[in-house]
Structure 1
Amino acid sequence: MPSKMYDMCGQEISVVRALSTTISPYMNQNQQYTKSQKDTQRKTAVRRSLIRSETLTREEKVQVQIVVQFFKVGEIDTLKEQFNADVVVKAKWREPAMDRQDRTDIDSIDLDKLWNPKLYIENALGDPKEHIRHRLIYNDKGEAYIYQKRIVKGTFMENLELNDFPFDVQDLTITVASELPSNEVELVVDPSEHHVVNRQSFVDEQEWHLYIHTECSRKELVIDQADNSVKRASLSVKCRAARRPGYFVWNIFLVTFLICSLAFATFSVDKSLPQNRLQLSFTLVLTAVAFKSVVNSSLPRISYLTYMDKYLLASMIMLSGVCTWHAIVTRLLDNRTRADEIEEIVLTVLGILYVLYNLGFVVLIYLFPCKKRRIMAQKDREYKISSVNSCLVSHSSLSQTSRSS
């Protein structure tokens, strides 16, 4: 029995030695893998801290390239001087700390924690809905750029110029500004992309005509009114929309013209019945006043006269002149022949003045408001030509690259 137990113990010891010999290499490999993984994590953490310390503060002035796309233009509210729109704001800026980084390092870095120009929409009304995404891109030289895409849906304020109403052309502006001072950030137009206006999704197509060209302007916003030296950089991108005047021409201008034309019919009433003449004339004046109130309800309270106001006021002045004559003619009834001659002269003068005023009004509309529309149409044609040329240049460069490769 003792010899058998000794043999069994010897077999167990040999088995344990064999197992330990087999498992030990794997245990050593696991320990080495864990150690290398910890070293990698430690290096990544150190690299993150270095990048963060380098990019959260910039000593030099950073140039941010901006492009704005009007994805959808909604209702243009003339009375409230605002418009609804869905816009896409793309921004791009250099990030030297990320130049020539490995793919593993890029995946381990949170781009939201890098330096940011802190862009916002300056003329947004309230809190618009925003969706912001960041990604890292490289050019042919291996230089890193942070690419930010901001999708904004909201209401935007716009100071409407209504001098030419209802033949006006309005600017629809998106102003992109930075919360950082202008000595730290410079906002410029992205030369590699074009501002885009999507006219197919325009909501107010029945009331407005949307142009496809855009214009940009740079300005500095004053942060503190007490200290004008501290300013913020901003970039304004605007598209334009021309009001379709057909509704106002047929329902306001034409009806007012007919009402004033009927004022000359009151001269057919005998001069000995001034009460009938005045009753008809006052009815026409009150009708013109009603039209004026309808027009005022569709416009904000502005301190200047629009083309519509000028026409309606001129018509009311003419009607008031007719009423004044009907009140004066009663003093001339002592000499009926003399009264008839004077009334013919007054009727002729009023008729000529009214016709000349209407002709002059049409000429003024053609020379000034319509001229602005012709300029906008010319800019649309130039924009189309430039877009086609840029597409041809990009296509030729791509074809040359493919041939060389």
Structure 2
Amino acid sequence: MPRPRGLDGSCPCEEIIESRWLEITESRGIIPCEEKIPETPARHLVTNPGHRQVKNPENNSNNNKNNNNNNNQTAATAKPQAGRSPSNLDSESTEEPTPVPTPVKEGSEGKATSTNEFVSWVFSPTSPEQEEEQATDDVEAQAQSTEALRRLTEKARAKLEQPEDEIPAREITTSVVVPRIFNINTLEQHFSAQVNITMVWPLPVNESESAPEPANDDGDWIPVWTPKYRFRHLLEEKYGFAHYSTRWQGGQRWIVAESEHLVVISEALELGDFPVDCQDLNLQILSLIPTTWAVWKEPEDSELIQLDMHHCLLNDFDFVKECPFTFRLYASEHEARTASRIDVKIKLARKSFYYILNVAGMVFIIASFSVASFAIHPAAIKERLATDFQLVLTCVTLKLLLGQMLPPLSYITLLDFYVISGFMFVAGMTVTHTIVPMWYVSKKDVSAVTLSPLSFLEEAAFVNDDGSNFRVCISCWMAFNVMFVLYAKRKAHSVYSKFVAEALAEQKFH
């Protein structure tokens, strides 16, 4: 086939080949020849040796037709040059070119040889078989990508069109370990706890979830989907950490989420029986994902709840030996949705000895001191009242100290009742020391402007009545304390027994 030429009879390929040849020879230090580089039949011209241009074999026939038309049009419109005719041009273009030797510098024979090899490689033609094979590979790759995209689209459409009730929920095996409970604050009504939660669910077999092998896991992997939950009545989370890993079990791969939390939980305490009360510390974990998507279940090979009682600092509490805690795993309705929930109730009984000794014991001693004022002569009203008022102020101080042990309450606790009773006894003694002497001694007899009488006829009766008053007051005070101690012991036993019975019934029910 004749090579296309320009209007002046020159071949555009020759100019490109010549410029390329000059660049190569200059870079390799070869002396260029005065004559032009002979024409080399090239199927494709490639400027970058690393990327060879490949044409689609289906378009070869069309390209050949277009080239023939262009050649005919160019040959018809081109002007013949001197000594040359259009027929000579066609004949010259079909002749095989004669290689022309290229002079080179001394010592550059190797460079010239390598340059010729490079030029022959650049302009080497591509066989039709290679073009056809490349085109076939491109068509197959495009068909595979189209098929993969179609499958993903159909899968996504089917998932969107599937009713919500038919989508299977993830089953998450959940276990909770409470290694430590501490800082139970009765005044501020909160407690601190360390909670470790372990959740296990199967690794989804799809393109969206992939995990490294256990041997290659560096600890930084986080799954695409993770369970979400929160602690109810949470005041503060001082520390939180989660670690994700995988393991093989039963021929299936599972995702294991291990989280550790240090939380401060608010707890409304029932202090009506203080200091012989029993309390429930509620630790409630609520799932944020509805049960239609994720359901918590108990593990088969371990306990749902574990409590380490040896590392707990309970202050003035102690665990109920018969039932240290109860738990329940169920689906609860919260905020117009149903979600999994775990309730853990830690059963505690207060140690009342501290409060009996430091509060009730002090009130008993101070109130009993008011009886000592009977040692003063009943007519010395001033001295007796001074002693009584000092004891009243002391009782008020103890009541203020007790207020710092308990939060503001709308009811009276058992210890409040005893403190108020001691205060009322001291107040009653003060009233007695004021009123009884007025039956025997008038204000004239003890006037501040006249001298006191040297003798008093009813003094003996006055002293005897004051002694009787002393015996009545001390008897009432002692009887009250005995009755209160018996009542407090019976109350403590009743509260503890009822609390244990409810705990056992609750655990048996769940």
- TM-score tier (shorter): 0.5 to 0.7
Partner of 1:68: 176
In structure 2, give the amino acid aligned to 1:214.
Answer: F
AA partner of residue 368 (structure 1): K
* Contact 1:211 1:376 (C-alpha < 8 Å) held by counterparts: no
C-alpha distance in 2 between matches for 1:187 and 1:337: 86
Partner of 2:342, secondary structure, is strand
Q: How far, CA to CA, are the matches of 2:482 and 2:169 in structure 1?
A: 58
Residue 367 in 1 paired to residue 495 in 2?
no
Aligned: 1:214 with 2:290: no
**Partner of residue 355 from structure 1, selected from 458, 472, 478:** 478
Residue type at the aligned position of 2:379: S
Please tell me whether residue 107 in structure 1 is matched to residue 218 in structure 2.
no
Task: State the TM-score, normalizing by the size of structure 2.
Answer: 0.55
For 2:418, the aligned partner's letter is Y
Letter in 2 for 1:215: T
The answer as to whether partners of 1:175 and 1:237 remain within 8 angstroms in 2 is yes
Q: 58, 69, 88: which is aligned to 2:196?
A: 88
After superposition, the C-alpha distances for 1:140-181 in whole angstroms (9 at most, x for unaligned) are 5x6886654321112111111222223333222211112245
CA distance in 2, matches of 1:220, 1:90: 21
Equivalence for 2:278: 169
Asked whether 1:178 is paired with 2:279, we answer no
Alignment of 1:257-268 (within 5 A): 257-268=364-375
Q: In 1, distance between residues paired with 2:417 and 2:297?
A: 42
Number of the residue aligned with 1:306: 413
Task: Report sequence identity in percent.
Answer: 19
Q: 1:120 to 1:308 in 2, by over 3 A?
A: same
Q: Which structure 1 residue ranges, 4+ long, deviate > 6 Å from structure 2? A: 108-111, 142-145, 375-382
1:119 alignment counterpart:
229
Correspondence list, 1:387-402, <5 A = none
Distance 1:139 1:211 in 2: 38
Alignment partners' CA distance in 1, 2:427 and 2:383: 15
- Contact 1:134/1:146, CA 8 A, preserved across alignment: yes
How far apart in 2 are the matches of 1:125 and 1:90? 22
Are the structure 2 counterparts of residues 374 and 135 from structure 1 closer, same or farther at C-alpha, using a change threshold of 3 Å? farther
- Contact 1:61–1:185 (8 Å) recurs in 2: yes
How many angstroms does 1:136 deviate by?
A: 5.7
Check 1:370–1:135 CA distance in 2 against 1; reply closer, same or farther (3 A cut): farther
Q: Which amino acid aligns with 1:357?
A: F
C-alpha distance in 1, partners of 2:299/2:488?
38
Trace 1:271-290 onto structure 2 (pairs within 5 A).
Answer: 271-290=378-397
Deviation at 1:273, TM superposition (A): 0.6
1:14-39 per-residue CA deviation (whole Å, 9 max, x = no partner) reads xx9xxxxxxxxxxxxxx9xxx9xx99
Contact 1:202-1:210 at 8 Å conserved across structures? no
Q: Distance in 2 between matches of 1:376 and 1:146?
A: 40
Q: Cα distance, 1:312 vs. partner?
A: 0.4
Which stretches in structure 1 are left out of the alignment for 5+ residues?
Answer: 1-7, 17-30, 224-228, 387-405
Q: TM-score, normalised by structure 1?
A: 0.67
**More strand as a share of residues:** 1
1:332–1:338 Cα contact (<8 Å) kept: no
> Which structure features the higher share of helix residues?
1
Counterpart mapping for 1:327-342 below 5 A = 327-334=434-441, 336=459, 339-340=462-463, 342=465
| Distance in 1 separating the partners of 2:501 and 2:236 | 36
Question: Residues 299 and 221 of structure 1: is their aligned pair in 2 closer, same or farther, counting only changes over 3 Å?
Answer: farther
- The answer to whether the 8 A contact 1:68-1:237 is kept is no
Contact 2:331–2:338 under 8 Å retained in 1? no
Choose between structure 1 and 2 for higher RCO, CA contacts under 8 A separated by at least 6 residues: 1
Would you say the 8 A contact 1:176–1:234 is kept in 2?
yes
Higher mean displacement: 148-157 or 232-241: 232-241
Is contact 2:198-2:259 (8 Å) kept? Answer: yes
Q: CA deviation at 1:242?
A: 3.1
Q: Which amino acid aligns with 1:89?
A: I
Q: Distance in 2 between matches of 1:372 and 1:189?
A: 33
CA distance in 1, matches of 2:432, 2:413: 29
Deviations 1:344-373 (A, max 9, x none): 444333323322322222223222334444
Looking at structure 1, the residues matched to 478 and 388 of structure 2 have their Cα atoms a distance apart, in angstroms, of 19
Q: How far 1:295 sits from its partner (Å)?
A: 1.2
2:348 to 233, 241, 258: 241
- CA distance in structure 1 between the aligned counterparts of 2:430 and 2:298, rounded to whole angstroms: 61
The residue identity in structure 2 corresponding to 1:113 is: V
CA 1:188–1:311: 2 relative to 1, 3 Å: farther
AA aligned opposite 2:223: D
Tell me the CA shift for residue 221 of structure 1.
Answer: 5.9
Aligned partner of 2:424 in structure 1 is 317
3-state DSSP of counterpart to 1:112: coil
- Aligned residue-pair number: 350
SS in 2 for 1:152: strand
- Per the alignment, do residues 318 and 106 of structure 1 end up closer, same or farther by CA in structure 2, a change over 3 Å counting? same
